[in-house]
Amino acid sequence: LLPNIRRDEFPSIHCPPNPMAHPSSSAPSANPVSIIGPQFCAPYPVDLAVVREVWTITDGNFVVTDITGNILFKVKAASLTIHDHRVLLDAAGNPIITFKNKLRSAHDRWQAFRGDSTDSSDLIFTVKRSSMFQLKTTLDVFLANNTKEEVCDFKIKGTWSERSCVIYAGESSTTVAQMHKK
């Protein structure tokens, strides 16, 4: 069904229904908040598979499928550019988010923009390492309107070697999503 794809090495993502972080505090909200758009939200758990494309010129290309193998998203890495960036596309190939690595950042910061834009007015969120030196990866996610960045809106904790992570609402223990290798 998917040529040049290896399903055995990449994780599935399980998104349980739960409240998302309120944009201006670390306390979870009672109502889910749509960060990208309501068409990407579901009131029930969704199992997804991350499938890396093999034999591509650039590293970082992969697709996200549902459990029946239908492609829901594609991630394409930019090739031969100075700035490291990736684009999340819907199944039809329309850009949803552009991820751009912010150069000269002490905490390895990435920015996410709406569509194929990299304009500051289209910034959705930024992601940075919680600290420069880590044994296990911990990332802080700040929504665009959280300009002070005193408290993160989401926290991602995981280990890339085990291909697993958990995304929490702010500094709380409320799980927003989790990923693990099957």
pLDDT digits (tens, 9 = 90+) for 94-123: 999 999 987 766 657 899 999 999 999 999
Q: What are 112's strand-pairing partners?
A: 99, 125
Residue 164: other Cβ atoms inside 10 A: 14
The pLDDT of residue 63: 87
What percentage of residues in the chain have a pLDDT greater than 90?
36
3: pLDDT confidence band, cut at 50, 70 and 90? very low
The pLDDT of residue 151: 94
pTM score? 0.75
Average pLDDT, the chain: 76
- CB neighbour class for 176 (10 Å; exposed up to 12, middle 13-18, buried from 19): buried
Token pair of 74 as six digits = 């594609």
| R_g of the chain, CA atoms, integer Å | 16
Answer for the pair 145, 23: CB distance below 8 angstroms, yes or no. yes
Angstrom distance (rounded) from CA 86 to CA 99: 5
Nearest-CA neighbor of 62 among 72, 48, 49, 76? 76
To which CATH superfamily is domain 5-180 assigned? LURP1-related (2.40.160.200)
Burial 35-70 (b: 16+ CB within 10 A, else e): beeeeeeeeeebebbbbbbeeeeeebbbbbbeeeee
Token pair of 181 as six digits = 């290798």
Q: What are 95's strand-pairing partners?
A: 89
Angstrom distance (rounded) from CA 43 to CA 33: 12
pLDDT digits (tens, 9 = 90+) for 47-100: 888 887 665 545 568 888 888 989 999 998 876 566 678 899 999 999 999 999
The pLDDT of residue 89: 93
DSSP per-residue letters across 36-101: S-GGG--SS-EEEEEEEESS-SSTT-EEEEETT--EEEEEEE--S-SS-EEEEEETTS-EEEEEEE
Residue type present at position 138: T
